[in-house]
Amino acid sequence: MSSPIRIGVIGAGRIGAVHARTVVRRIPEAEIRAIADPSKDTAKKLGAELGVPRVLPDYRELLSDREIDAVLICSSTDTHAQVITEAAKAGKGIFCEKPLDLRLERVDEVLAAVKQARVKLQVGFNRRFDPDFARLRRLVADGAAGVPHLLRITSRDPGPPPLAYVKVSGGMFLDMTIHDFDMARFMMGCEVEEVFVAAAVLVDPAIGQAGDVDTAIVTLRFANGALGAIDNSRRAAYGYDQRVEILGSAGMLANANHTPDTVSRADGDGVHAPLPLNFFMQRYTESYEAEMRAFIDCLLRDQPPPVTGEDGRRATLLGYAALKSLKENRPVRPEEFLASKKRKR
């Protein structure tokens, strides 16, 4: 075996801890050399759990360490662009949580920096690595449903995030639907050419007062001619609802929600089955591990990452198109949007 990939973790919060544990416990081909977090306590606690003695308050120290091959950027969203840019300059392999940035121009700059530095960048669209969605994609690609005609994505959270978060999140389309935009592109294997949004504030008026929506149907028109619909809600009383359905010329593919157990109870009132898993980190446990493995693999084999910076940019672009469609109540082509952005410059 070649020597293991040496990893620095930037950001030791919830998702940083998930990735760090995966590397330590599940991926013998990688090892964690240092953990950086502005909160030294947070970094220390994670370091202690995982047997990583080196913890740093400043990620720059980690970037300047020549014995570190790659970084996992798990810091807050507003730092992503800056950290990626510096990591690229430092020649590190980069895994970064989504989104790259909420501003499309900034995303373009970041991708340019990554390109110039010729480093690898994988974006954290973990759902692609979920066993259900990975298999669905393989089946679509293998033609198991024939030529795709219709895609339906049901993506509903068990409850809205805190209002404070809503205000800085970039809004539902850039925070939540962005995963579904990526899923749509992933499933179809082609770009979205037009977006139409019907959205409303039905879950909580406070979300509307914060300038956001909480319920939406997003219609997509794909480059391959197929049509798609995403339906989003910030609140599904029965739990986290994550379903994808593809109708093609030869049939239909679909997944179902995951439950904590399979126990049903039948009494005089009905047959009662368990609710979907309520929390995204439980629902997507396996996907986090698989995406990290994929990242390490692409470094070891010097292959392109399975989810690229361009994937991150495209999903953000669709979020922008959705916002414009919402504002102007008309279908919006991302292309048109890019054009208007250029004009603005």
Residues 265-304 that bind a second copy (CB under 8 A): 265-275
User: Is the CB of 267 or the CB of 302 nearer to a second copy?
Assistant: 267
**Looking at this protein, which amino acid is placed at residue 178?**
I
CB of 121 to a second copy, least distance (A): 28
Of residues 10-29, which lie at the interface with a second copy (CB under 8 A)? 25, 28
Sign of CA dihedral 76, 16, 85, 37: positive
User: Is the CB of 49 or the CB of 335 nearer to a second copy?
Assistant: 49
CB of 125 to a second copy, least distance (A): 18
Q: Are 235 and 203 in contact (CB under 8 A)?
A: yes
Q: Which of 42, 82, 219, 285 touches a second copy (CB under 8 A)?
A: 219
Nearest to 321 by CA among 333, 339, 312: 333
User: Is the CB of 144 or the CB of 190 nearer to a second copy?
Assistant: 144
For residue 59, give every residue at least 6 positions away whose Cβ sits within 8 Å of its Cβ, in sequence order, or none.
8, 10, 36, 71, 75, 83, 86
User: Is the CB of 203 or the CB of 307 nearer to a second copy?
Assistant: 203
Ramachandran bin of 218, using left for φ above 0, alpha for ψ from -120 to 50, beta for the remaining angles: beta
141-157 in b/e form (b: 16+ CB < 10 A) is eeebbeebbebbbbbbb
User: Is the CB of 203 or the CB of 315 nearer to a second copy?
Assistant: 203
User: Is the CB of 119 or the CB of 247 nearer to a second copy?
Assistant: 247
Residue 152 contacts a second copy per CB under 8 A: yes
Which of these segments, 67-75, 117-125, 299-307, 326-334, binds a second copy (CB under 8 A)?
Answer: 326-334
SS3 sequence of 140-154: HHCCCCCCEEEEEEE
Q: Which of 9, 12, 56, 203 touches a second copy (CB under 8 A)?
A: 203
Of residues 56-115, which lie at the interface with a second copy (CB under 8 A)? none
User: Is the CB of 171 or the CB of 305 nearer to a second copy?
Assistant: 171
**Looking at this protein, which amino acid is placed at residue 170?**
G
Of residues 113-142, which lie at the interface with a second copy (CB under 8 A)? 131-132, 135-136, 139
Q: Which of 113, 199, 296, 298 touches a second copy (CB under 8 A)?
A: 199
User: Is the CB of 249 or the CB of 303 nearer to a second copy?
Assistant: 249
Which of these segments, 52-60, 113-121, 166-174, 191-199, binds a second copy (CB under 8 A)?
Answer: 191-199
Chain center to CA of 339: 26
Reduce the DSSP state of residue 160 to 3 states and report it.
Answer: coil
Q: Which of 57, 330, 336, 339 touches a second copy (CB under 8 A)?
A: 330
Q: Which of 250, 282, 303, 304 touches a second copy (CB under 8 A)?
A: 250
What's the number of CA atoms in the CB half-sphere (13 Å) around residue 219?
11
Residue 194 contacts a second copy per CB under 8 A: yes
Structure tokens at 222: 């794909």
For residue 187, give every residue at least 6 positions away whose Cβ sits within 8 Å of its Cβ, in sequence order, or none.
133, 136, 137, 140, 148, 151, 244, 246
Sign of CA dihedral 104, 109, 112, 117: negative
Cα 3 from Cα 99, distance rounded (Å) = 31
User: Is the CB of 167 or the CB of 272 nearer to a second copy?
Assistant: 272
CB of 288 to a second copy, least distance (A): 15
Residue 44 contacts a second copy per CB under 8 A: no
Residue 144 contacts a second copy per CB under 8 A: yes
Residue 167 contacts a second copy per CB under 8 A: no
| Element of type H or E holding 108 | helix 104-117
